[in-house]
Amino acid sequence: MVSEDLSWLLSGLVQRVPHTRSALLLSSDGLVMASDGMDKDAADHLAALASGLYSLARSAGKRFDDGDDVRQIVTELSSSMLFVSAAGQGALLAVLAGREADVPVLGYEMTMMVKSVRSHLGAAPRQPAGQ
């Protein structure tokens, strides 16, 4: 699990890309690891949604593609866009942005952020209770 607070890293991403509202680092099973731009309840809700979307995309990859590698999930809403991508072993990055956001720039910034700190972003799998 991430041992340091990486909210500053997410804050930098949100500040660098115009129309980006919030960013969230989460474990692949939906636990919030760090967030910027949202309260705890919203972060928990987005973490559950992002984890579910990522899981569905992996399932689609297994069934209809050559594997379960997911590069990025983009969900277009009426006034927002949600991006979800892998961010290290067992970790995901979710970003909410307005529809006005420059999608290629945001995707690039997300990729560069993950590449630069990937070793710090891993999340160990949870162990069953009592082990």
Tell me if 121 sits within 8 A of 88, measured CB to CB.
yes
Tell me if 13 sits within 8 A of 20, measured CB to CB.
yes
pLDDT attached to residue 3: 42
Give the dihedral sign, CA 27/38/16/83: positive
pLDDT attached to residue 124: 56
pLDDT attached to residue 1: 42
Average pLDDT for runs of 10 along the chain of length 131: 68 94 94 94 97 94 85 93 91 95 93 78 58 59
Cβ neighbours of residue 90 closer than 8 Å, sequence gap 6 or more: 27, 28, 29, 122, 123, 124, 125
pLDDT attached to residue 126: 55
pLDDT attached to residue 119: 66
